[in-house]
Amino acid sequence: MSPSRPASTHSRTARPSRPALEQGRIFEASPVGLIVTDASGRIELSNPAAEAMLTDGKQSGGEHSLAALLKACDAYGLWLKCERLIRGEASQFRGEHLLQRGERGALWVQAEARRLDGDAAQLVLQLTDIDRLKTAEEALIYTEQRWNSALESARQGVWDYDQRKDRMFYSRMWRRLRGMDDDEEIGENHHSEWLSRIHPDDLEHLQSVERKQGQGEIGHDTLEYRERTRDGDYIWILSRGGPIEWGEDGEVLRSVGTDTDITALKTIEHALAAEKERLRVTLESIADGMISTDAEGRITFMNAAAESLTGLAATSAIGRPVAEVFCLRSERSGEAIDCPVDTCFRQQKPVRIDDDGVLIGWDGAQRDIRCTAAPVLTQDGTLEGAVLVFQDVTQSRDLQRQLTHSATHDALTGLSNRTAFEQALGRTIAAARSDREACLIYVDLDHFKPVNDSAGHAAGDALLRQIAKTIRETCRTHDTVARIGGDEFAVILEACPPEAGRRVAEAIVRAIGALVFSWAGRDYRVGASAGLTRIGGDPASPLGFVGEADAACYAAKAAGRGRVVAFMDMIDPT
């Protein structure tokens, strides 16, 4: 755009006055766009700021019509207002308009125009760039919408109380929390109506704290209470808020806050409180030891059960390092175990010792212990100390050992039972596949039934115990000796070649044959027959290893009893 300029009435030698020059520079340098037209809308004056706002940067000039310029920017609404001024239907206007400028993009402007009447009517149009302001306004609207959405998603209602006008604003979610319609009118008696909905048990406390909250007293910016909804149920409300405007004399003029439905949290809180009480009663009724320490591992508290288990009075223990009072060693290895409190400090997590800890008391007593040590951390993760809880499980571990032994041993003889024998055989077979040769001996007593029938079952049981002891003493300590039937025994010889296995089997047969069993003044003798087989990668026959040893034992009985037969000799007599 090439704005028109008034023709000079001076000669070439005439020079404009200094005020005129200053006004011209101001007009040219002003960031506000200025346009002056005649009564027909023809542009008489315009500054660079107006040119920058109204053109797309490609026009090369010659356009003197305000109507054409504004229409080229799709600013028809602005032109219609200017046209009214040109026709004399209005004297001035002000408003915001959006200019479309092609590749330069859209621009928001604040337009102000005034009609100047006189000998020659003129129109003065002022354009102010408000694009950044509109962008900020849109961002503010977006932010407000986002926060409103977030508040409603969190079921938080907003209230705003103007004490100067005694006017209360409630948000849509505030109404929804209470079962009201979104557009329901809140009357002038809003406060008394609100109090009428408060649970009777909360009313006195609420009125006391409400006043302090309204005055902005420190520590009273939150308030919890129960309020009845339209359906008659009570919900828990957490109200946060306080003053945001004060008068000159310090009186509160306006308060703002939010109400949150915390019914679900309160339900959980009450359930946890009840659970905590049940836990407290439970802990008081059990004999668990408990020790608390500071961040350096020094004892700060020890209950009576802990005194009894450690053998040290609390008065003597407090202030000591917990590792001095709570001393553990391993049941399996006999070596000292690191104090669980020190371990939980290093790992920053709870530490448990379930089945290997033995507590060495200051009184010399030793007790099987199960314990848990947990670090105590503040909300910001700072270590404050630890809590050690431990129980005397000596009796339960003894019972566990007995049950474990009973599950794997014969009740009469104390030897391994058939289940333990089969497990040991499985391990031996697996090892044999890695070239670890072993032998299996199957022993069946000879002439045992006459003793059992003539002397009675008690005598038979006593004889079986004596024979079991004899077999056990004949074998190595790491060999598996099992009773697998009434008067049948089996022996697994680890890492033993067949020649050595035969010698062990013969020794067992001789030892049993040499026994003289005395019962009720009478002596009895029994014998034994034994079958031997080699345990290798695979059985030598479809009978399996146990079947081979049993077959060899049967052959020993058939050959006259009191002897050993090897299955290898049966399939290869040479």
Greater pLDDT, 185 or 81: 81
Q: What CATH number has the domain bearing residue 235?
A: 3.30.450.20
Whole domain around residue 244: which residue ranges? 151-266
Question: Is 136 part of a structural domain of the chain?
Answer: no
Q: What CATH number has the domain bearing residue 463?
A: 3.30.70.270
Looking at the structure, tell me whether residues 331 and 235 fall in a common domain.
no
Percentage above 90 pLDDT, the chain: 42
Tens digits of residue pLDDT in 231-279: 999 999 998 888 888 888 888 888 888 899 999 889 998 898 888 788 6
* Domain-ending residue, one of 231, 266, 301: 266
Looking at the structure, tell me whether residues 259 and 345 fall in a common domain.
no
Looking at the structure, tell me whether residues 463 and 350 fall in a common domain.
no
Nearest alpha carbon to residue 440 among 486, 524, 505: 505
For 168, residues 6+ apart whose C-beta sits below 8 A from its C-beta are 159, 160, 161, 162, 186, 190, 191
* Domain-ending residue, one of 129, 162, 188: 129
d(CA 461, CA 165): 104
The answer to whether the beta carbons of residues 535 and 439 sit under 8 Å apart is yes
Largest CA distance in the chain: 164
The CA angle 468-474-475, to the nearest 5 degrees, is: 95
| Domains in the chain, number | 4
* Domain-ending residue, one of 343, 375, 397: 397
pLDDT tier at 148, thresholds 50, 70, 90: low
Looking at the structure, tell me whether residues 65 and 183 fall in a common domain.
no
Lowest mean pLDDT among 111-120, 216-225, 254-263, 391-400: 216-225
Q: To which H or E segment does residue 554 belong?
A: helix 544-558
Average pLDDT value for residue range 323-341: 90
Question: Is 95 part of a structural domain of the chain?
Answer: yes
Side-chain-side CA neighbours of residue 503 (13 Å): 5
Nearest alpha carbon to residue 522 among 449, 454, 445: 454
pTM of the model: 0.41
Question: Is 467 part of a structural domain of the chain?
Answer: yes
Looking at the structure, tell me whether residues 85 and 156 fall in a common domain.
no
Question: Is 282 part of a structural domain of the chain?
Answer: no
The residues annotated as belonging to the active site are 487
Looking at the structure, tell me whether residues 182 and 249 fall in a common domain.
yes
What pLDDT shows up at residue 282? 62
Looking at the structure, tell me whether residues 350 and 426 fall in a common domain.
no
d(CA 235, CA 267): 10
d(CA 161, CA 210): 13
3-state class percentages of the chain: helix first, strand second, coil last, to nearest 5: 40, 30, 30
Looking at the structure, tell me whether residues 304 and 382 fall in a common domain.
yes
The three-state DSSP-derived secondary structure of 33-64 is EEEEECCCCEEEEECHHHHHHHCCCCCCCCCC
Question: Is 272 part of a structural domain of the chain?
Answer: no
Looking at the structure, tell me whether residues 110 and 199 fall in a common domain.
no
The separation between the first and the last C-alpha atoms of the chain, rounded to the nearest angstrom, is: 126
Phi then psi dihedrals of residue 412, to 5 deg: -80, -50
pLDDT tier at 18, thresholds 50, 70, 90: low
Looking at the structure, tell me whether residues 504 and 540 fall in a common domain.
yes
Question: Is 109 part of a structural domain of the chain?
Answer: yes
Question: Is 284 part of a structural domain of the chain?
Answer: no
Looking at the structure, tell me whether residues 325 and 200 fall in a common domain.
no
Tens digits of residue pLDDT in 531-571: 999 998 788 888 899 999 999 999 999 999 999 999 988 87
Lowest mean pLDDT among 137-151, 303-317, 342-356: 137-151
Question: Is 371 part of a structural domain of the chain?
Answer: yes
Looking at the structure, tell me whether residues 162 and 252 fall in a common domain.
yes
